Structure 1
Amino acid sequence: MIEIENLRAAYNGKNILNVEKLSLEDGKITAIVGLNGSGKSTLLKSLLGMKRGERGNSGRVLIDGKNLSSLSHKERARLVGYLPQINQNANLDVYTLVCHGRFPYLGYSKILGENDRLLVENALRLTDMWEKKDKNLGEISGGERQRAYLAMVIAQDTKMILLDEPATYMDIKHQIEVLDVLSRLAQSGKGIVLTSHDLPQSFSICDKVCLMQEGKIVAQGRGEEVLSDGETVRSVMGVGLKKISDSDSIYQYNLVR
C-alpha cells in the first residue's frame, strides 16, 4: 500500500501538485483521471521520489509503512514498479529489455538465476510478447514496444505497479488484453495505479477512481460514488458519463454531452 499525506510539488516556482491525503491499496486497480496538464504524471513521479529534490516539493509518502525518503533507489525498485508514458527506443532485443526488470534483485554481475528467467518468461507471455522476444525494439510497432516495457515492469515483481497511460499506442484489441492482464495482477494481490483520460474505460475496470484537476484530487472512490453527484465528472472533464444496461458491452459507461 502507498499512503500519501500533504504531497506538494512545484515547477518554476508554481505549485503543480497538492494532494492532502490518498491511499493506493494492494489488490486494487486505481485510476488517476484528469485532463492533460492536471498533474497525473507529476503525482506518479512524486510517489517515486523523482521530484523530491526540487524546490517547493514536500510531503510524506509511505510504501508498506516505510517512508519513501528513507529508502535507497534499489529498495524502492523492489517495492514499486513504474512505467512512464514515453519509452525510449533502446537498441535492445525485447528479452534483454524485460530482463532489466530483475536488476534491483541482482548483484554486480547482473547474472539472472532460474527464478529470474522464469519471471521474465511469465511476464512476456502475459503481455503476448513471448514470440517477439528476439526482436529488436526498433523492429516492432509502438504498441508492441509499450507491451515490452510493461513486461519489464511486471518482471520486476513489485507489490505496487505505477503506469502512466499504459495503453498508449495500442489498438483496442491489445488495450483490452492489457487491462485483463492488469486485472489478473490485481487479483493476485498487486496494487495497480494507472493514469488515464479514458473515462468509460477507467470507470468500468478500476476499483477506485481519483479525479484530478489543477494538481488536486477533487473526488475519489468507486466509480458509482464519484458519479453520485452527477456534475463532478462533467465539471472536471467537460463531459459526463452514463451507465449502460447492455450486458454484452465491454465497458459499463458511455460518454454523454
Structure 2
Amino acid sequence: MPSNPSATSDSLAIVYQDEYLVAINKPGGLLVHRSEIDRHETRFAVQLLRDQLGQKVYPIHRLDKPTAGVLLFALAPDIARALGNSFANHQINKTYVALVRGFAPLNGVIDHPLVEEQDSYTDKLARQNKPAQPAITGFSRLAQVEFPFSIDKYPCTRYSLVKCEPKTGRKHQIRRHLKHISHPIIGDAKHGKGQHNRFFQQQFDCAGLMLAAAELRLTHPVHNNALTLTAPLPASFTRIIHQFDWAHALPAHWLHSGDSDTKVIHAS
C-alpha cells in the first residue's frame, strides 16, 4: 500500500512506498550515493534510506547534489532492471521547476547536444573527447517578475519561473540547456551567473540551486497502473514563489506546506 510517513531530522521524506518501490523527496545538498568528488561527505541518500527501511535499495536515476525532489528506488534487483529499461526507453516522464534569469520564452524545445562533463579525478580513466550526445528539453514559462535593480549592464532585473521536461538524461542537462538559451538557473554556482546568485542571497536570503524535481510519471512495473509521484518544492523555493506572487502558477501540492516535505502520491 502507498504510504507517506512524515520525515524527521534523521529520516528522509517518503512520498511513495509499496513492496516493490519507494520514492523520496531528496533534499538539496544530499548526494545520491558515495562519490570520490565529494570525499568529505558522510551522508548519502542510498545509505540513509537503506538504514531507514532496514533493507537494500536500488537507485533508478540520479539527481545532482544541489537538486531537490523526487528520487525513485527499487526494492529488488529485477524491479530495478525493469525500471532502468523504462528510463532507457523514455517511458518515465520527469518534470522540474526552475527559477531563471531573464524573461524566458513562453515555451519551446531546447535541442542542443551536450559533450559529457567529466571530472578530472573520477573520470581520469574515461574515454576522452567523446562526441556530443543528443539532449532535448521541453520547457514553458509559468510566471515572470521584474525588479528596479541594476545588475551587470541592464537597468533592471528580470526573472522567470520555468517548468522543464527533459526528454533525455544527460549530466546537468537542464542546467546546461537553460544556460545555453541565456536563462541560467538562480543559485547555480557552476552554470549560472554570480551577480544574480549574490543578488538573491542578499535581497531575499535565498541560497542554493533553484531547481527541483517536482513530479515523476511512470507505469508501475508490476501492477501496470499509472503513478504520478510528487514532492513539494523546498521551503526556501516555496517562500520565494509566494514572495513573487507566483503560487497560482503551480499546483498547490507542489508547494511546501510548512508541515513536512512529504506529499501523498497521486495515482490514476
Q: TM-score, normalised by structure 2?
A: 0.28
More helix by share: 1
- Larger RCO (CA within 8 A; separation ≥ 6): 1
